[in-house]
Chain A
């Protein structure tokens, strides 16, 4: 083959030159794209192919003192469907229907005219696993907080909103501990739009929040919840609180609260102060003993239950000409305690109440804990000193009062109550541990012992015999205080009934505070709150683990009485009903309150007909039914009942509920 010559050769060179220039242009452009603009193009590519996803952390668990989970997080999923991408609509419809999705939503989710449907609600991943494997079904993690069913616990731990943010309770107070650390993941999308975690850019895992161990004992909490619910229903009370505290280290072992209405969600034992009434008297007695101003056997005139003082008439339910200081506490004499309190100056009385914690929040990690009210002496009126000695013109939260009684129980030290026992990291490392912390010494051990002896007498033969146990000594004090209403002052026939007990009296392991708001019928603390304390203690003694040192209990137990189980259980309880009532309800006003009937029917259970006025018929019927009555409807004054509210009637009695004709 002959070599090209002439024009051919020059054309070939020209062609080669063009190829070379083209190649040079390609190399130049490649250099420009790769070297000069490389970073920008890489960013653009990453934006299209790689997506940074935020991984929400699971909130930490909340456990009780024994490790029982009270609140835990679990990961549910939310479903989103692109109906046009679906291949098998019927299969999806079947899976969604099985998962409990309403038929209308299923129809929408499988309607090809729609582009995007979000299925309301959150689902257990295993329930919708078949759906999530389908093309056109997208999932999003939706962490859920699962709280134990105890209503008292729900009030303590609080709530978390749908967005995972805490709303109230411990969830809010301990959010920084519980919330955890967000994670991040790089998700790569392939040509079909499917996404998967980038193998070259591994993400950062989310870290679950710390575990919070509470001082609450769940077994005891359940006992308190149930006792309060049953008592409130049986007695027609508007609400109530039970606090159980360990006086040895200040640990809150149980805290049950009950208020009407779905909006009442806070732990009212921490947030709602009340006038404690006679439960404050032992601290006045302690102040007198501490300062050497009185002896337990010192006598004052109690004027047969009626005494005019500073222009007011003060009355006692237990009428006597004279009483010792110990009897004043045991019989809850208003006349006696006012006379003894005169030996304290206003400043001393103020300091006594201030030192036991009145007017200062206890410091437990709970949002909106109330401080209570304690007025400085400069703001006192003429009758304030006497009123305070009887537990009026001063307010405390149930927890504050329980903590104050813990000082009597433990030999005189006011301890800081604790709700959180430990905080543990996700690796199990203990980050915080509650240590017993004494706020101050409020009385000497001898004084505490003397006051405790008086309180033993209150339960043994005073106003609180209904709290007594057969085999253990219990110390305690009842209180019955009139209640106020906004703008109306003290309201007739509205009472707060309370009892604070120390168990066992010799070496207390529990301080049990029971408070009932507006019990219907018998409203004295000794008749309403004290028996609930007994119910709680009996159930705690019988429970497998209710934070009791049984060895110590066995050492202080009384000799066992004759077998009580030969009598019906309720008959045994009836034997205590002959006790004189707590007298504090008659102060500080000139009102002689009728004593509760001493002659009780022999056969129990008798219970007051609840007051259902103002409630819808359905709710009223339910309340009556829950109280143990049979309900028939009649016509008349709406909400009225026959027998009338407050009347004691046997369980199963037919109650006629009246409504509009």
Chain B
């Protein structure tokens, strides 16, 4: 009778321990997931920030390299001008040259 009682108690204790372990595992997994999710969100935000910055910088480069920006500077400061058609030499690609390409 006493032995049966002791076995019953140890079984209950085992079940309780198993429950605690499983519950702890579930909570840890959930906390880890949430932490990872927050990390991903921060990284996503950083990525979006950098993408926006890159778009802005590329736009700035395009604006600065545009004919509308460069041409007046070239004409006024460097005394350059758009060549007349007679000042442009169009070099025809030779048959050998085109074959090599």
Seen from chain A, the residues whose Cβ lies within 8 Å of a Cβ on chain B are: 68-69, 72, 74-76, 124-126, 129, 132, 141, 146, 148-150, 188, 196-200, 219, 222-223, 225-226, 469-472, 535, 537-539, 541-542, 550-551, 553-555, 557, 560-561, 563-565, 569, 572
Q: Answer whether A538 and B85 are a contact pair too, CB < 8 Å, given A149-B63, A149-B68, A150-B68.
A: yes
The 8 A CB mask of B26-47 against A (1 = contact, 0 = none) is 0000100110111011000100
A199–B66 contact, CB under 8 A?
Answer: no
Q: Which residue of B lies closest to A550 (CB)?
A: B90
B67–A74 contact, CB under 8 A?
Answer: no
Task: Jot down 30 A-B pairs with beta carbons below 8 A, ordered by A.
Answer: A68-B62, A69-B58, A72-B55, A72-B59, A74-B52, A74-B55, A75-B52, A124-B52, A125-B49, A126-B50, A126-B52, A132-B45, A146-B55, A146-B59, A150-B66, A188-B34, A199-B30, A199-B37, A222-B67, A226-B68, A226-B71, A535-B82, A537-B85, A538-B83, A551-B93, A555-B92, A560-B86, A561-B86, A564-B84, A564-B87
How far apart are A220's CB and chain B's nearest CB, in angstroms?
A: 10
List of A residues within 8 angstroms of B33 by Cβ: 199-200
List of B residues within 8 angstroms of A553 by Cβ: 90
B90–A225 contact, CB under 8 A?
Answer: no
B55–A196 contact, CB under 8 A?
Answer: no
Q: Answer whether A470 and B68 are a contact pair too, CB < 8 Å, given A146-B59, A196-B38.
A: no
The CA of A537 and the CA of B84, in the complex, are separated in Å by 9
List of A residues within 8 angstroms of B91 by Cβ: 554
Residue from B51, B63, B85 in contact with A75 in the complex, judged by beta carbons closer than 8 Å: B51
Interface of B is mostly: helix
A542–B83 contact, CB under 8 A?
Answer: yes
How far apart are B39's CB and chain A's nearest CB, in angstroms?
A: 10
Question: Is residue B13 within 8 Å, beta carbon to beta carbon, of the partner chain?
Answer: no
List of B residues within 8 angstroms of A74 by Cβ: 51-52, 55-56
Seen from chain B, the residues whose Cβ lies within 8 Å of a Cβ on chain A are: 30, 33-34, 36-38, 40-41, 45, 48-53, 55-56, 58-59, 62-63, 66-68, 71, 81-88, 90-93
The CA of A560 and the CA of B82, in the complex, are separated in Å by 18
Q: Which residue of A lies closest to B52 (CB)?
A: A74
Q: A196-B41, A222-B67, A564-B84 are in contact. List 11 more A-B contacts (CB 8 A).
A: A68-B62, A126-B53, A132-B45, A538-B85, A541-B85, A541-B88, A554-B90, A554-B91, A564-B87, A565-B84, A572-B84
The CA of A76 and the CA of B55, in the complex, are separated in Å by 11
A199–B90 contact, CB under 8 A?
Answer: no
List of A residues within 8 angstroms of B53 by Cβ: 124-126
B37–A196 contact, CB under 8 A?
Answer: yes
A75–B84 contact, CB under 8 A?
Answer: no
List of B residues within 8 angstroms of A561 by Cβ: 86
The CA of A197 and the CA of B45, in the complex, are separated in Å by 12
